[in-house]
């Protein structure tokens, strides 16, 4: 059984009237790993999460956990019998219960002493061992999030689903809470699916990354592979800023106003070169470009460049050029990909 995937989703679709929310989705969760499902708002990722949890039924396809079917052919195992934990965006803590009581709520099948001990152990696992007596309104957003996680983990679910777990946190809290959450999940050996629209969050948390766009899963794999080798411009955009430059392929090279990159599998003709801002490098030897604008971005300067009627933006560390200058640019081929032009 150890070789069986913790969860498989096969050709699952869900529509609401004429609107297709999820289209022929295939997804695999490996045991003990954190998978992030990344996509923009409205792409269907939360719907897919609800289908896995059993809160909704798919129109077609099959969902199975540990080789046992959960949803198939219009039939389904009830949500409470799936062994799947779900933590919502708003954490859904009971306001009339302390943190410890919230965590213990799902353990009513245990004797009172064991229930309390288990709840306390889970609070300690998420670094809230001294906050058991606090009411939800007295907890910070990050603390509430960790109490909700402890409550879900207390029942030892085979799979844990997290829906936008950091969406309600201030920017300065996200890094701290993400780190503590990831450590707690790994310590528990949990199999986790995290739904998010934040690319940085997904890249930092995920063992495995799944990209979703327009109701379809368009790419999956290791975060580094998805970032460096996107299958399409849509996949590339999901993981950060990109420049899409019109070019021409000639003899295995895609030529653009800002330099050329290898395109060995492309026939001669028009193409689109995708390059990330950090992949446009100012260099002594390269293609000439005009500096249209320079903005300070903290750890880098964002430099707007124009060439042959096209505009791109580069992230430049160190000393930046001044607006109005002419500079030479090269494209880092490791941060660029060539795609066919769309009809």
Task: Delineate the domains of the chain, giving CATH numbers in brackets.
Answer: 7-233 (3.40.50.300), 243-340 (2.40.50.140)
Residue 144 near residue 93, CB atoms below 8 Å? yes
- pLDDT of the residue at 3: 65
pLDDT recorded at residue 125:
80
Measured between alpha carbons, how far is residue 275 from residues 149, 173, 212, 295 in Å? 38, 31, 21, 19
Q: Return the residue matching tokens 């629209």.
A: 197
**pLDDT on residue 76:** 94
pLDDT at position 140: 87
- In this prediction, residue 243 carries a pLDDT of 97
Can you give the pLDDT at residue 109?
Answer: 85
Model pLDDT, residue 2: 53
Q: Which residue numbers in the chain have pLDDT < 70?
A: 1-3, 168, 343
HEC-encoded secondary structure of the chain = CCCCCCEEEEEEEEEECCEEEEEEEEEEECCCCEEEEECCCCCCHHHHHHHHHCCCCCCEEEEEECCEEEEECCEECCHHHCCEEEECCCCCCCCCCCHHHHHHHHHCCCCHHHHHHHHHHHHHHCCCCCCCCCCHHHCCHHHHHHHHHHHHHHCCCCEEEEECCCCCCCHHHHHHHHHHHHHHHHHHCCCEEEEECCHHHHHHHCCEEEEEECCEEEEEECHHHHHHCCCCHHHHHHCCCCEEEEEEEECCEEEECCEEEECCCCCCEEEEEEECHHHEEEEEEEEEEEEEEEEECCCCEEEEEEECCEEEEEEECCCCCCCCCEEEEEECHHHEEEEECCC
Tokens of 293: 């604008």
Report which of 339, 331, 340, 335 is spatially closest to residue 224, judged by C-alpha positions: 335
Q: Is the dihedral of CA 316, 317, 323, 325 positive or negative?
A: negative
In angstroms, the Cα distances linking 316 to 76, 227, 279, 310, 325 are 53, 19, 10, 19, 15
């Amino acid at each position: 059984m150890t070789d069986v995937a913790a969860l498989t989703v096969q050709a699952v679709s869900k529509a609401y009237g004429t609107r297709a929310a999820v289209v022929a989705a295939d997804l695999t969760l490996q045991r003990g790993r954190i998978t992030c499902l990344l996509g923009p708002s409205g792409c269907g990722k939360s719907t897919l999460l609800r289908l896995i949890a059993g809160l909704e039924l798919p129109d077609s396809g099959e969902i199975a956990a540990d080789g046992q079917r959960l949803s198939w052919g219009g039939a389904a195992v009830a949500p409470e019998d799936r062994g799947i934990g779900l933590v919502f965006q708003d954490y859904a803590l009971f306001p009339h219960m302390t943190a410890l009581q919230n965590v213990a709520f799902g353990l009513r099948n245990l004797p009172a002493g064991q229930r309390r001990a288990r709840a306390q152990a889970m609070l300690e696992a998420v670094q809230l061992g001294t906050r058991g007596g606090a009411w939800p309104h007295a907890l910070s957003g990050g603390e509430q999030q960790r109490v909700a996680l402890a409550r879900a983990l207390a029942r030892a679910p085979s799979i844990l689903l997290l829906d936008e777990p950091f969406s309600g946190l201030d920017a300065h809290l996200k890094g701290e809470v993400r780190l503590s959450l990831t450590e707690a999940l790994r310590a528990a050996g949990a199999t986790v699916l995290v739904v998010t629209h934040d690319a940085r969050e997904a890249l930092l948390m995920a063992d495995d990354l799944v990209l979703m766009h327009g109701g379809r899963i368009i790419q999956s794999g290791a975060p580094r592979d998805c970032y460096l080798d996107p299958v399409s411009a849509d996949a590339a955009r999901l993981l950060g800023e990109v420049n899409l430059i019109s070019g021409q392929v000639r003899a295995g090279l895609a030529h653009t106003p800002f330099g050329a990159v290898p395109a060995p599998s492309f026939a001669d003709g028009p193409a689109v070169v995708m390059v990330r801002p950090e992949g446009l490098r100012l260099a002594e030897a390269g293609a000439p470009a005009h500096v249209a604008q320079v903005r300070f971005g903290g750890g880098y300067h964002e430099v707007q460049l124009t060439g042959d009627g096209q505009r791109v933006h580069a992230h430049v560390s160190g000393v930046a050029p001044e607006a109005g200058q002419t500079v030479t640019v090269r494209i880092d081929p490791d941060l660029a990909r060539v795609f066919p032009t769309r009809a």
